[in-house]
């Protein structure tokens, strides 16, 4: 199916950077379009991190520490943790220049089983549920202006969220460029609402609205468990600091653009988050913020009225941008898992005309829509964060392990060993803290689901029974004809 044209269209993309030691000794797959430049890298980090989190998490962080001073300190500290974690991923991403984020790192350090468990958990739980939750947040904010004084009907919210998932999935399956342009536009819209809130807060501070910052550490409730849960909620708003590593194969000059995107993107987000929280506290006391149903909307009503409608509008843009960034990157994770034989092989196929991993992105969107259907997804939110930090910690541990077991690998970026040690300890604390301070069955269910991946691995990946292959062969044939996709072309260097 057009193999000659694929060779021509691939062009120079087959050339690899010197020092990509892991890739250079194995057959290479046809590269995805390398449209992701430095600006897109920064937009991807900013666009994915600043989503619904900053409009939801301030309430949870404040509830755990009880005062303005510790709350702002936690937000700044979360930014430091996210930056340190991202630097660890920068070393991993330039040492192992493969798409799929944590997946290839776990594969190289610990072998196929932990890598499979990561892909199993990510593909079926954490990534699609995160996508669904973000789109539900978008739907709530987008529909709010049409239902003044009351909550929008659940049917409207779910249909709007499903429509958002379908549109974002189609955009990313059709074109890398189109997905990139959409990300740039939505990031611009997102920064507009962030700027409006920050500038409004600075103006209010200049006018002397500082009474809520007096004795800012008074009445604080500081303990190991409360601090841990505050970090838990704060870091949830920062989630996405590792996202650029999912598209390493698509970055032009990843040795330069990956660390630069992190160094510029994460501190930019940290400054924005702290200033946004300061802005909230200029018009709301701690008690009022805790009683607010939607912090950003309350801020808009008090500061921007009668133009307060722009807040839910731009927050909707913010969340849809976050959802687009998540889809853009996680679709590549499905693609890599299919390429490694850990999912249906057809998921690693590439569109002949579009040169995008269309089956992987469509699969991801379909699973996300399934999560829209249940009425209550609060449980999913709980064990989403639990599972995410479990694998973040395991991935950073992989970096430490490979410093001793894979010394021959070239490391264009090499960070001090103390940084991954700190991040590993923080991740252990974040995983254990909710279990110790507020044990729930959701965490047990999460662990059981992750371990159930072992059964799937043994039956379908390790032993490779014939009957699943016969079924998948028929599915692959029909998907190929429907989507016009082919296996990624293998070229020996």
CA separation, residue 33 to residues 13, 129, 195, 361 (Å)? 8, 27, 33, 15
- Tens digits of residue pLDDT in 51-61: 778 887 888 88
Q: How confident is the model at residue 490 (pLDDT cuts 50, 70, 90)?
A: very low
List alpha helices for 239-292, DSSP H.
254-283, 286-291
pLDDT number for residue 293: 67
Q: What is the pLDDT of residue 239?
A: 82
Q: What is the structure's pLDDT at 15?
A: 37
DSSP annotation of 251 reads B
b/e per residue, 419-430, with b = 16+ CB within 10 A? Answer: bbebbbebbebb
Q: Which residue has the higher pLDDT, 155 or 476?
A: 155
Q: What is the DSSP letter of 486?
A: E
Higher-pLDDT residue of 317 and 243 is: 317
351: helix, coil or strand? strand
Local confidence band at 78 (pLDDT 50, 70, 90 cut-offs): very high
Q: Which residues pair with 251 in a beta bridge?
A: 36
Asked if pLDDT for residue 72 goes beyond 90, the answer is yes
Cα gap 329→29, rounded to integer Å: 18
DSSP string of 133-162?
HHHHHHHHHHHGGGSTTSPPPHHHHHHHHH
- The tens digit of pLDDT for each residue in 266-292 reads 888 999 899 999 999 999 999 989 887
366-392 per-residue burial string, b: 16 or more CB within 10 A, e: under 16: ebbbebbeeeebeebebbbbbbbbbbb
Residues 252, 90: contact at Cβ < 8 Å? no
pLDDT given for residue 77 in this prediction = 94
**Cα separation, 414 vs 425, whole angstroms:** 20
Residue 1 is predicted with a pLDDT of 45
Q: Which of 184-193, 221-230, 297-306, 457-466 has the highest mean pLDDT?
A: 297-306
Which residues neighbour 72 within 8 Å (Cβ) at sequence distance 6 or greater? 216, 274, 277, 278
Domain regions of the chain by residue span: 34-484
Contact status, residue 413 vs residue 94, Cβ threshold 8 Å: yes
Give the pLDDT mean for 76-99: 87
* 8 Å CB contact between 134 and 52: yes
% of the chain exceeding 70 in pLDDT:
85
Decide: helix, strand or coil at residue 36.
strand
**Residue range 34-484 in CATH 1.20.1740.10:** yes
Q: pLDDT tens digits for 392-442?
A: 999 999 999 999 998 898 888 888 999 999 999 999 988 887 788 777 777
Round to the nearest angstrom and report the end-to-end CA distance of the chain: 23
Neighbours of 13 (CB within 10 A): 16
Helix, strand, coil fractions of the chain, as percent rounded to 5: 75, 0, 25
pLDDT: which is higher, 181 or 161: 161
Predicted TM-score (pTM) of the model is 0.77
Q: Is the dihedral of CA 129, 135, 136, 138 positive or negative?
A: positive
Cβ count within 10 A of residue 223: 11
Arithmetic mean of pLDDT, 182-186? 77
Q: Of residues 378 and 208, which shows the higher confidence score? A: 208
* Lowest-confidence region among 88-92, 137-141, 395-399, 451-455: 137-141
Tens of pLDDT, residues 16-37: 333 333 443 333 444 555 545 7
DSSP letter, residue 30: P
Mean pLDDT, the chain, rounded, equals 79
Rounded CA separation 351/480 (Å)? 9
Rg (CA), the chain: 23
């Amino acid at each position: 199916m057009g193999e000659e044209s694929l060779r021509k269209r691939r062009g120079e993309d087959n050339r690899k950077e010197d020092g990509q030691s892991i890739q250079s000794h194995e057959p290479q797959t046809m590269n995805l379009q390398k449209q992701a430049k430095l600006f897109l890298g920064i937009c991807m980090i900013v666009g994915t991190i600043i989503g619904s989190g900053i409009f939801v998490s301030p309430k949870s962080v404040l509830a755990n520490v009880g005062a303005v001073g510790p709350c702002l300190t936690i937000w700044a500290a979360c930014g430091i943790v996210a930056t340190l974690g991202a630097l660890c991923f920068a070393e991993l991403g330039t040492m192992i220049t493969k798409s799929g984020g944590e997946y290839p790192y776990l594969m190289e350090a610990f072998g196929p089983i932990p890598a499979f468990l990561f892909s199993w958990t990510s593909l079926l739980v954490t990534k699609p549920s995160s996508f669904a939750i973000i789109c539900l947040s978008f739907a709530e904010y987008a529909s709010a202006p049409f239902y003044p004084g009351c909550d929008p009907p659940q049917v409207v919210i779910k249909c709007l969220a499903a429509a958002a998932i379908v549109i974002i999935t189609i955009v990313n399956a059709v074109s890398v460029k189109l997905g990139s342009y959409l990300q740039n536009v939505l990031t611009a819209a997102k920064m507009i609402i962030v700027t409006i809130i920050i500038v409004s807060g600075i103006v209010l501070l200049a006018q002397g609205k500082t009474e809520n910052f007096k004795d800012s550490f008074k009445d604080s409730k500081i303990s190991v468990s409360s601090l841990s849960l505050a970090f838990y909620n704060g870091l949830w708003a920062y989630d996405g600091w590792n996202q650029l590593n999912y598209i390493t194969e698509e970055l032009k000059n990843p040795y330069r653009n990956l660390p630069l995107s992190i160094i510029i993107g994460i501190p930019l987000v940290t400054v924005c988050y702290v200033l946004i929280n300061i802005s909230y506290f200029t018009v709301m006391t701690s008690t009022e913020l805790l009683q607010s149903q939607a912090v950003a909307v309350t801020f808009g009503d008090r500061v921007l009225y009668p133009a307060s409608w722009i807040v839910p509008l731009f927050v909707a843009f913010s969340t849809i941008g976050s959802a687009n960034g998540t889809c853009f990157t996680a679709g590549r994770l499905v693609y890599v898992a299919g390429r490694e034989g850990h999912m249906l092989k057809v998921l690693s196929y590439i569109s002949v005309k579009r040169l995008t991993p269309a089956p992987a992105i469509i699969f991801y969107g379909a699973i996300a829509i399934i999560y829209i259907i249940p009425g209550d997804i609060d449980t999913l939110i709980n064990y989403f964060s639990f599972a995410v930090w479990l694998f973040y910690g395991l991935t950073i541990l992989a970096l430490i392990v490979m410093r001793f077991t894979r010394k021959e690998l070239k490391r264009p970026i090499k960070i001090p060993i103390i940084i991954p040690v700190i991040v590993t300890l923080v991740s252990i604390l974040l995983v254990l803290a909710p279990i110790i301070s507020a044990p729930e069955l959701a965490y047990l269910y999460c662990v059981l689901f992750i371990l159930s991946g072992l059964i799937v691995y043994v039956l379908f990946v390790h032993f490779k029974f014939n009957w699943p292959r016969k079924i998948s062969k028929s599915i692959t044939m029909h998907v190929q004809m429907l989507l016009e996709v082919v296996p990624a072309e293998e070229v020996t260097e």
